[in-house]
């Protein structure tokens, strides 16, 4: 049995474990029970009915959040003559090809988002074993393989705040929706964008309901159960 601190136990008592909260009420409660001395991340966890063993039921994507993630995002762009200048002009933190590849092979990974042009993908393929397990490897499915003419937009979106989501081996989707310092309305806006994006990814082969349960939590706080019909009815402001 997991032992929690006295602080955690005290704030957790404010959460009704038998209740499924509507998003706005849930965010207000989460802010109230998040008492750590740092700005905690707000996370969404959705248990789905997909079968991760089937490739056509894997859920994976990227969503732009209207209020960002509340943190500095460092962006690496792998690009040659096409896309490099666009990336620099848009504010990418690191742009290059061979020099970046060598730096990463030496152990450097001080960034949060990796982007690449299609032309450079064969060259960085060997980085998959290093960056793949960290979720930093550019790939078409996550929208991080970008045509040169779209690179400026991709960099701006990445630095402005985008969150990735994917099902794990137990069919649960984990993602971030902001910080507890955000207002409840900002968190609901971000949640709406993320939930809408995930709902659009429902596999055609899936039988029955898409979501089984959904919770929000902060880094050090208790989980708050969300009302599924209300969550799935949220409309993105995008």
Domain of 196, CATH number, reads 3.30.190.20
Average pLDDT over residues 34-63: 91
Domain of 121: which CATH number? 3.40.50.790
8 A C-beta contact, residue 50 and residue 59? yes
Query: What are the tens digits of pLDDT across the range 183-226?
Result: 999 999 999 999 999 999 999 989 899 999 999 999 988 899 99
- 100 within domain boundaries: yes
Share of the chain above pLDDT 90, in %: 66
- 22 within domain boundaries: yes
Domain termination site, one of 160, 183, 218: 160
* Whole-number pLDDT of residue 108: 94
User: What's the Cα-to-Cα distance from 182 to each of 1, 63, 97, 222, rounded to whole Å?
Assistant: 33, 18, 37, 18
Flag whether pLDDT at 55 surpasses 80: yes
Average pLDDT over residues 4-19: 71
8 A C-beta contact, residue 154 and residue 183? no
**Which two tokens mark 10?**
């005290």
- 4 within domain boundaries: no
- 10 within domain boundaries: no
Angstrom distance (rounded) from CA 69 to CA 56: 29
Domain extent at residue 218: 16-52+168-233
- 92 within domain boundaries: yes
- Cβ neighbours around 220 below 10 Å, total: 18
- 5 within domain boundaries: no
Give the phi and the psi of residue 125 in degrees, each rounded to 5: -55, -35
pTM, entire model: 0.73
* Whole-number pLDDT of residue 238: 53
Average pLDDT over residues 98-126: 94
Quote the number of domains for the chain. 2
- Cβ neighbours around 124 below 10 Å, total: 19
3-state secondary structure of 178: strand
Query: Cα 76 to chain center, whole Å?
Result: 17
Of residues 204, 197, 205, 159, the one with CA closest to residue 175: 197
The reply to whether 144 and 186 lie within a common domain is no
- 81 within domain boundaries: yes
- 3 within domain boundaries: no
| Confidence grade of residue 69 (pLDDT, cut at 50, 70, 90) | confident
Average pLDDT over residues 14-30: 93
Distance spanning both ends of the chain, measured CA to CA? 43
The reply to whether 156 and 172 lie within a common domain is no
How many residues can be counted in the chain? 238
Of residues 23, 17, 16, 40, the one with CA closest to residue 221: 40
**Which two tokens mark 43?**
């996370």
Of residues 108, 99, 172, 171, the one with CA closest to residue 136: 108
């Amino acid at each position: 049995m997991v032992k929690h601190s006295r602080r955690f136990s005290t704030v957790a008592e404010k959460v009704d474990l038998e209740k499924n909260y509507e998003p706005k009420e849930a965010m207000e409660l989460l802010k109230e029970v998040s008492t750590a001395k740092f700005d905690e991340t707000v996370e969404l966890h959705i248990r789905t009915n997909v079968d991760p063993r089937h490739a056509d039921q894997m859920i994976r994507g990227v969503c732009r959040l209207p209020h960002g993630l509340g943190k500095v995002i460092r962006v690496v762009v792998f690009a040659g003559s096409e896309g490099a200048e666009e990336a620099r002009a848009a504010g990418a933190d690191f742009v290059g090809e061979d020099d970046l590849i060598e730096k990463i092979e030496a152990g450097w990974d001080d960034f949060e988002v990796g982007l690449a042009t299609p032309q450079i993908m064969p060259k960085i393929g060997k980085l998959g074993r290093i960056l793949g397990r960290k979720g930093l490897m550019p790939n078409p499915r996550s929208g991080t393989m970008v045509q040169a003419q779209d690179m400026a937009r991709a960099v701006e979106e990445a630095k402005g705040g985008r969150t990735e989501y994917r099902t794990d081996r137990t069919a649960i989707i984990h993602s971030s929706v902001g910080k507890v310092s955000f207002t409840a309305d900002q968190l609901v806006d971000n949640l709406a964008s993320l939930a809408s994006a995930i709902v659009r990814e429902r596999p055609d082969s899936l039988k029955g309901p898409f979501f089984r349960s959904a919770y929000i939590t902060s880094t050090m706080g208790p989980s708050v159960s969300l009302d599924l019909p209300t969550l799935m009815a949220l409309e993105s402001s995008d």
